[in-house]
Structure 1
Amino acid sequence: MIADLFAWFADPAHWSGENGVPARVLEHLGYSALALLLAAAIALPVGVWIGHTGKGRRAVVALSSALRALPTLGLLTFLAIVLQIGLRQALIPTVIVLVVLAVPPLLAGTYAGLQAVPREVVHAARAHGHSTAQLIGAVELPLALPMIVGGLRSAVLQVLATTSVAAYLGLGGLGRYLFDALAVQDYPTMLAGAVLIALLALVSDAVLLTAQRLVTPRGLRPHRGAGPGSAPA
């Protein structure tokens, strides 16, 4: 099986055309990016409001837990049937399912990041005459950004791993290698598809991890060689 996997990747036919790896990766990233943008448009404002005001956290946590429990493939099938979606409109239920998957981690990272901002910093900013907009934009969001990016990392990993369900409704992406190969029991192609999805997720996570470290304020970064009893720099 491993030899067949290497032979699959070495075959030039798998790297060109509309069914080639580059085209499928771009389709996969396109579906994922669209879903993440829509999820961010929903989760970030709501998360900022909850984190700043402290209101509605219990309701949002309960809703997020319920969304996480929904079976992705079952929800996709349900939406396709209820909305009476044809192949040309298959992107609609697919994106809805991915948005439902991405909202909870983005929302949790945003409101948790704002709530983790030290209260004395917030009070000091208010004492200096900051308005609510200035307080959120200049104080709370910059300090909460590392946790927000952490929520984004979680959302990206989940969405990239799940976007393969797009092929279930006839769309493209790396899921085509899984669903098409399953129909004909082409196991090397299925394994290649799984490897490509895993590699795409790992590379994306590494990029976002680097971004998370870069946006972390220097005073909040862990210091190398600092033991439990070491004084902060």
Structure 2
Amino acid sequence: MNVLNFVQAFFSDGAHWHGYDGIPTRFLEHVRYAALALAIAAAIGLPVGLLTGHTGRGGNAIAFVANAARALPSFGLLVLAVLLIGFGLLPVMIPLVVLAVPPILVTTYEAVRTVDPAPVDAARGMGMRESRILFRVEVPVALPLILSGLRSAAIQIVSTATIAAYVSLGGLGRYIIDGLYQRNYEKVVGGATLVALLALVTLALFWAVGRLAVSPGVRRR
């Protein structure tokens, strides 16, 4: 059988659409893992990136931390976290967050740093506070690039969250891990296809958010 036949056989099997191992259940589990990891990574990366980008300080430290984090293998971190903490959701979150923080942090920093200084200087000349300058002047202009960092992080999380299945959790990785163990390649291909579809849905979601959140003038630029 070729890949298309595997895909058709997987999605046409009614047993894959019901129960705790059904596609809706596994899909929602995967989304929950990815959304939680992205929220934690954004809570870390966005404030640090905005602050350092606005002040212009800490760029070298950000680059060092980002490069170091990118060099860490996600699966190796997962194994180490399980050995230190035990099984559960926390060991899965650690490598996913470590994977997602660098693109958010670096992109946010660069987005704020590359804002045209003219309106920033004008806002300071009007007596605006630094926090208002950041959120009223710099962030609206930098928002497209900030969203691109979040989008990149989200895609990486969606693709990597399959490792949750290695520690007996759910998600779409369950089909891949169980399929390999059972030599059921229909299930392996089906799980991989679902992960790819979820990545495409994530891209579409961020595109829609960008259309709604970014002002038309900034989009045209």
User: Gapped runs of 5+ residues in structure 2?
Assistant: none
Is 2:10–2:190's contact at 8 Å kept on the other side of the alignment?
A: yes
Question: 1:213 Cα deviation (Å)?
Answer: 3.6
Q: For the aligned residues, what is the CA RMSD?
A: 1.3
Displacement of 1:31 after TM fit?
A: 0.6
Determine whether 1:18 maps to 2:16.
no
Aligned residue number for residue 172 of structure 1 = 170
Rounded Cα–Cα distance in structure 2 between residues aligned with 1:187 and 1:51: 47
SS where residue 172 of structure 1 aligns? coil
How many Å apart are 1:129 and its aligned residue? 1.3
- The correspondence of residues 1-233 of structure 1 with structure 2, limited to 5 A, is 1=1, 2-83=4-85, 85-86=86-87, 90-222=88-220
Name stretches of at least 5 consecutive residues in structure 1 with no aligned partner: 224-233
Contact 2:6 2:190 in 1 (8 A): no
Question: SS where residue 221 of structure 1 aligns?
Answer: helix
Task: Give the letter aligned to residue 73 of structure 1.
Answer: F
What's the CA shift for 1:207? 1.6
Give the letter for the 1:61 counterpart: A
Contact 2:7/2:193 (8 A) holds in 1: no
Task: Read off the aligned partner of 1:93 and give its amino acid letter.
Answer: P
- For residues 212 and 137 of structure 1, the distance between their equivalents in structure 2, rounded to whole angstroms, comes to 17
Q: TM-score w.r.t. structure 2 length? A: 0.95
State the 1:78 CA deviation: 1.1
Tell me the CA shift for residue 12 of structure 1.
1.3
- Pairwise CA distance, 1:137: 1.5
Q: Amino acid of the residue matched to residue 64 of structure 1?
A: A
Q: Please state how far the C-alpha of 1:128 moved relative to its aligned partner.
A: 1.2
| 8 Å CA contact retained: 1:146, 1:213 | no
Q: Is the 8 A contact 1:48 1:114 kept in 2?
A: yes
Deviates more, 1:210-219 or 1:25-34: 210-219
AA at the equivalent of 2:136: A
Deviations 1:48-106 (A, max 9, x none): 111001111111111101111111111100111122x03xxx21110011100110111
1:206 alignment partner AA: A
More helix by share: 2
Please give the alpha-carbon distance, in whole angstroms, between the structure 2 residues aligned to 1:118 and 1:28: 39
Secondary structure of the residue aligned to 2:57 is: coil
Q: What is the CA–CA distance in structure 2 between the aligned matches of 1:4 and 1:37, rounded to whole Å? A: 34
- Separation of aligned partners in 2, 1:122 and 1:4: 56
The residue type equivalent to 1:7 in the other structure is A
Q: Distance in 1 between matches of 2:108 and 2:92?
A: 25
Question: 8 Å contact 1:117–1:144 — kept in the other structure?
Answer: yes
Q: TM-score, normalised by structure 1?
A: 0.90
Identity, % of aligned positions: 47
Contact 2:45–2:105 under 8 Å retained in 1 = yes
- Residue 6 of structure 1 deviates from its aligned partner by 0.3
Q: Distance in 2 between matches of 1:221 and 1:75?
A: 38
- Residue 138 of structure 2 aligns with an amino acid whose one-letter code is E
Amino acid across the alignment from 2:182: V
Q: Is the 8 A contact 2:15 2:22 kept in 1?
A: yes
